[in-house]
Amino acid sequence: MTTPLLDVKDLRVTFEIHRDGDLPWAAPRKLRAVNGVDFSLLAGKTLGIVGESGCGKSTLARALIRMLPATGQVNWQGETDLLQLTARQMLKYRADIQMIFQDPLASLNPRMTVGDIIAEPLRTHRPTMGGKERRARVKAAMERVGLLSNQVNRYPHEFSGGQCQRIGIARALIVEPKLLICDEPVSALDVSIQAQVINLLDDLRRDLGLTIVFIAHDLSVVKHISDEVMVLYLGKMMERAPSDELFAHPQHPYTQALLSAVPVPDPQIERGKVVIPLDGELPSPMNPPSGCVFRTRCPRAQALCAETVPEPTAGPHSYACHFPGAVTQEEIAAPV
């Protein structure tokens, strides 16, 4: 059996919140941003993570690279639990795990030239590398992501949003990582630029054998680039399956609701599809619903859903639902 590059077990991120008006001696409230997530990722594969804003996607990404304190296990290549390492011990793994952030311009230092920004990881992780080789690496990285090497002395504000994201990608790839975590890398870009960046990442994955964790809101983007997709809601995994299987046969009502919101270019299919509305607001993670956290917005919720937390099923297509299967138009129209 192939050992996963990344094996995550019972990952939890909890914040302690003190509200204005709380007595000084009052116990802090618990906000469980990530609440017991499990997944494995083989080398060379891409895992897409989707869900509404506030479901814990970005928190999960930051926990994987130790930007946030977390509990559970993040096993690297079947040998090392990254969560048990000290900051000094973790440094040796940071070259293997790089991240691309959501806001391309905000993630770049405005006082540094593009060349210095891209070369910065080399200075940290390859301190013995000479200046000539470092400059050659920077120019090669820029050309690989579609930037001109003669732009090396320009500053971030002189580039468009799409170009700034390419700079961020070049900076992440300069140390030849094994795992690339992309935290909504195209959400701040125009639609046409989004397609260019997604195609670039897909080409880099294929050419360099990268393993990618790709976080996004756009399910069509996730389907294009991902081998497997995981759906999060209030910090919990609702469904996880190979990409084609999840899009063809979604079992969890929440997954079906997200998919039904994606427009289909065929008018006949668009008119005939079942649209599952997500009524109400996302519940507060400080006071989540009992039982299944999705039950307050689920068209299929029953008494059991409020009483018992559904356990994820075993197998490549896993879902945490007491009553899986396709939601019908009759269930949507039925009074709550």
318: domain CATH number is 3.40.50.300
Is 237 inside any structural domain? yes
The domain in which residue 239 lies consists of: 6-96+177-333
What order do you get walking across the sheet with 6-17 strand by strand?
Answer: 29-41, 6-17, 71-76, 80-81
Question: Residue 315: which region, alpha, beta or left (left: phi > 0; alpha: psi -120 to 50)?
Answer: left
Q: Rounded to whole angstroms, what are the CA distances from 227 to 16, 139, 165? A: 35, 31, 23
Per-residue pLDDT, 248? 92
Residue 260 CA to residue 225 CA, distance in Å, equals 20
Residue with tokens 């770049």: 108
pLDDT tens, residue order, the chain (336 aa): 588 999 999 999 999 887 766 667 778 888 999 999 999 999 999 999 999 888 999 999 999 999 999 999 999 998 899 999 999 999 989 999 999 998 888 889 999 999 999 999 999 999 999 999 999 999 999 999 999 989 999 999 999 989 999 999 999 999 999 999 999 988 878 888 888 889 899 999 999 999 999 998 878 888 889 999 999 999 999 999 999 999 999 999 999 999 988 877 777 777 777 788 888 888 988 889 999 999 999 999 999 999 999 999 999 999 999 999 988 887 787 755
Is 123 inside any structural domain? no
- How far does Cα 281 stand from its chain's mean position? 22
Is 321 inside any structural domain? yes
Is 254 inside any structural domain? yes
Per-residue pLDDT, 335? 57
Is 292 inside any structural domain? yes
Concatenating the DSSP letter of every residue in 227-251 gives: SEEEEEETTEEEEEEEHHHHHHS--
Residue with tokens 């580039």: 159
pTM: 0.92
Residue with tokens 């599809």: 273
Total domains, the chain: 1
- How far does Cα 152 stand from its chain's mean position? 30
Is 272 inside any structural domain? yes
Is 164 inside any structural domain? no
